[in-house]
Each structure stands twice: as C-alpha cells, then as structure tokens.
Amino acid sequence: MQDYQLKSQKKKEKAVLFQGNEQDFFEGEISEIILECLSESLDNLESKTRKADVIKDIISQNEQDGELEKRKQKVKEIFKGYKSVNGTMKKELEAIGFEVKEDGKHIKLIYFGDSRYMTTIAKTPSDNRTGNNVAGTILREMM
C-alpha cells in the first residue's frame, strides 16, 4: 500500500504536458492557446463523459490572464473599417507584436518577427470587407 501511495504522489508532481520547442511570443501565450483549444474541444464532447470531466478539470486548475483574448480584440479593433495603413495603425500593430514592412503597394505584417506567421495587406484596400478579412486571417493563422 505504501508503494502505491508513493507512486500516486509522484504522479501528482508530474506535469500533464511538457513544453515543446516553441517559445511564448508573450508571457503565457502557449498556455492560453492550449487552454483555448481544450475549451473549444468541449463543444464536441458529450457533457457527462470522463473526457469532458478531465478537460474541464484541467481548464479550471489553470489560470489565464486573458492576454491572448485582449490581443485578438485589439486586432479586430485595428482592422474595423480599415481604409489605409496610417501611423497610428502601424504603432498599434507594433504594440501587439507585429513587424510592419512596406513593400510597394502592399504591407507585410510579420508576427513577432517569425516569418511563419506573415500576411500581406494592401496599403489601400479594394472593398469595405478587407479589414474583417485581414483580421480573420490574423486570428486564424497567428493567434
């Protein structure tokens, strides 16, 4: 019995997941992404199942400061009614981690300097849905 208790104690000390090679772009980013994915997965699970209970427990035991959601809201705000890239918009994008590089008639947005997370936008968009489309791309691919 004592051996079982010792093994049980060691298991409690073991992390549920181990950090991969990816680094946080901002403090707590990876944790927030994982917890968001777990929350979204609950929609696809029956509520009274072991899987759902385990996922709910993990979510409840991990605090989030909401930084990821704040950044998502900021992206939506920045691109709402997007007509052109101006100095204010550029500063707001840089404040949430984007490098803004002008390239002729387009602007490249690179998230935290990582070329895997880049999108190109027109300096002057062709229609009034462009801002929403750009925000959607950023949220889907980078956040």
91 and 127 together in one domain: yes
Is 7 a member of any domain? no
In the chain, what percentage of residues exceed pLDDT 90?
76
Report how far residue 39's alpha carbon sits from residue 110's, in angstroms, rounded to the nearest whole number: 27
Give the chain's domain count.
2
Total-model pTM: 0.83
Torsion sign across C-alpha atoms 80, 85, 86, 89: positive
Q: What is the pLDDT of residues 43-92, one digit of tens each?
A: 999 999 999 999 999 999 999 999 999 999 999 999 999 998 899 999 99
Average pLDDT score, the chain:
91
97 and 125 together in one domain: yes
138 and 87 together in one domain: yes
- Amino acid occupying residue 35: L
Is 5 a member of any domain? no
- Report the DSSP beta bridge partners of residue 103: 106
* Domain span including residue 118: 71-142
76 and 134 together in one domain: yes
